[in-house]
Amino acid sequence: MVIARKQTLVQLNDELVRLLDERATRERRSRSAVIRSAVESYLHDEREAEIDREIVEAYTRMPQTEQEVGWLDAHVKDTMRALDEEEDEPW
């Protein structure tokens, strides 16, 4: 599968170019590949933070009930107990 790409111009100071070249050499990748990876990571992290904020906002608007929290606590305890038992089994 070929992914269409667009070329863009990015201006960097000498220090950033030096660090970029060092990283590209160390990883045996092109400058473009390192920059692309960095941008993908940055945008992914930003999206993850946005999702986290949305989850917190949703729980703030509609908090869990005591019953839901109690069920979750019991479920977590049961799961942890099962994992402990599984670790104790000889293989």
pLDDT band of 81, cuts 50, 70, 90: confident
* C-alpha torsion sign, points 7, 33, 4, 48: negative
Residue 12: what pLDDT? Answer: 96
Where along the chain do its domains lie? 14-86
Q: What is the pLDDT of residues 37-67, one digit of tens each?
A: 999 998 888 888 889 989 999 888 888 788 8
Q: What is the pLDDT of residues 15-26, one digit of tens each?
A: 999 999 999 999
Which range among 4-8, 34-38, 55-59 has the greatest average pLDDT? 34-38
Mean pLDDT, rounded, of the chain:
88
Half-sphere exposure of 89 (CA within 13 A, CB side): 7
Is the per-residue pLDDT at 91 higher than 70?
no
Contacts of 30 (CB under 8 A, 6+ apart): 24
* Average confidence (pLDDT) over 58-84: 84
